Amino acid sequence: MKSPHLLRVLTLAGLGSLAAAPALAQEPGFFYGGVSAGTARSSVDEAAVAAGVLGGAALTGITSDETDTGYKLFGGYQFNRNFGMEAGYFDLGKSTFSGTAPGGTFNNDTRMRGLNLDLVGTLPLSERFSLLGRVGVAMGRTRASFTGAGAAGVADRNDNKANAKVGLGVQYELTRAMWIRGEVERYRVNNGVNGRTNVSLYTVGLVFPFGRAPEPVPYVAQAPVYVAPAPAPAPLVQAPPPAPMPMPAPAPAPQRVSMSAESLFGFDASAVRPEGRAALDGFSRDIANTNYQTITVEGHTDRLGSAEYNQKLSEERAAAVKNYLVTAGRLDASRISAVGKGETMPVTKPGDCRGTQRTAALVACLQPDRRVDVEVNGTR
């Protein structure tokens, strides 16, 4: 009735999800709490438990109920998008069985609960949907009661020991302030007679992050408005002036558009998201009738993180915007250049955003620095 193979599979799957996690995101850490409830299913070796109490006597005609309601209360800290630490209280309900012993009916009632500490790995599959894997330790308390034949003089037994636990699950971000989780976890608990029992807990629950940075608001700078020069005043003399020499038209001022990195890409990513594609489609339509000579795409980041990482991220985002303008906007690739400026050209002024530690307030203050600038040189 034990399932060692399932335990190994859950352990390997949990470790695999941690190893497959992508690069750490720049979002600062935050605390969270939650509650989950569902079904607990025990795998009790009834004959072995009875033999441990009855001094080795065999139990026959066994009937059991190994399914009950289980729940857990938990809280944790999300260090980044891929790793968190979680502690909680769990209740695995109770299991019962009865059978015929040499002296009559023998009954058992076992209840399992305790505390746990887990390392939780998150593998994002999209902006909102993720896989979860966890490994940890459970300090369980098992209370076993025995009645009937052969149990006379046997007091209730309490067993408090630490055992390993693992789990797998999925998570969906309903909002930035509420997630929903579905999980299956395997607990290894003591059965009260010097043995161990596997308990599988299947739950659905809600998670409530708090202290998390708000969703950044896209920042878009307005393109400069071209103002034609004032006409020259009429001459004071009566005689018509000589025909003026034709003058070349003034060179138009470059048009520059700034787009928020959060409106174009997912957090710490360089793939253009649907909202970003809509903004770039509008930009392509706006310059469809423009006789442009060159378009320069510049990627910029804030000062959080290393300079090398920020330089690479800015180059990847600039290249992604150029590729989209060429493939979807059908613009001339030979006239478009893409460069990354990293953190070297911030929009915020020195002293606007103080601090060096990554906090929610500092991330929000530096939001204008995370952008993509597109400069168009040409005439309409």
pLDDT in tens, 226-269: 666 777 766 665 666 666 666 655 555 677 787 877 788 776 77
Q: What is the pLDDT of residues 331-363, one digit of tens each?
A: 888 888 999 998 899 989 888 888 888 888 888
For the residues 299-304, what does the mean pLDDT come to?
88
Range in 12-26, 41-55, 273-287 the model is least confident about: 12-26
What pLDDT shows up at residue 16? 46
What pLDDT shows up at residue 83? 95
Same domain, 103 and 181: yes
Same domain, 147 and 281: no
In a domain, residue 232? The reply is no
Q: Which of 144, 175, 210 is a domain's end point?
A: 210
Enter the tokens of residue 299. 């990627």
Q: Is the confidence at residue 12, as pLDDT, over 50?
A: no
Q: Which of 181, 210, 239 is a domain's end point?
A: 210
| Confidence band for 22, pLDDT divided at 50, 70 and 90 | very low
- The pairing of strands 60-65 and 83-101 is antiparallel
For the residues 52-65, what does the mean pLDDT come to?
80
371's CB contacts (< 8 A; 6+ apart) are 219, 258, 259, 260, 261, 300, 347
In a domain, residue 35? The reply is yes
Same domain, 36 and 140: yes
Same domain, 162 and 263: no
What pLDDT shows up at residue 6? 44
What pLDDT shows up at residue 48? 81
Strongest mean pLDDT among 25-34, 127-136, 151-160: 127-136
For the residues 3-32, what does the mean pLDDT come to?
53
What pLDDT shows up at residue 25? 43
We report the CATH number of the domain holding residue 303 as 3.30.1330.60
| Confidence band for 330, pLDDT divided at 50, 70 and 90 | confident
d(CA 370, CA 300): 6
What pLDDT shows up at residue 15? 44
Domain ranges, residue 104: 4-210
Q: Is the confidence at residue 4, as pLDDT, over 70?
A: no
In a domain, residue 218? The reply is no
Same domain, 259 and 178: no
- The pairing of strands 196-210 and 178-190 is antiparallel
For the residues 118-146, what does the mean pLDDT come to?
92
* pTM of this structure: 0.53
Q: Is the confidence at residue 221, as pLDDT, over 50?
A: yes
In a domain, residue 322? The reply is yes
In a domain, residue 247? The reply is no
Same domain, 112 and 204: yes
Q: Is the confidence at residue 7, as pLDDT, over 80?
A: no
For the residues 201-215, what does the mean pLDDT come to?
88
The sign one gets for the Cα dihedral 344, 348, 354, 359 is: negative
In a domain, residue 21? The reply is yes
In a domain, residue 60? The reply is yes
What pLDDT shows up at residue 354? 85
The total number of structural domains in the chain stands at 2
Label residue 41 exposed, middle or buried (CB < 10 Å: 0-12, 13-18, 19+). middle
Q: Which of 147, 182, 210 is a domain's end point?
A: 210
Same domain, 204 and 268: no
Same domain, 317 and 177: no
What pLDDT shows up at residue 124? 94
Same domain, 178 and 265: no
Q: Is the confidence at residue 82, as pLDDT, over 60?
A: yes
For the residues 304-329, what does the mean pLDDT come to?
89
In a domain, residue 219? The reply is no
We report the CATH number of the domain holding residue 90 as 2.40.160.20
Same domain, 204 and 260: no
Q: Is the confidence at residue 72, as pLDDT, over 90?
A: yes
Same domain, 189 and 64: yes
Same domain, 280 and 174: no
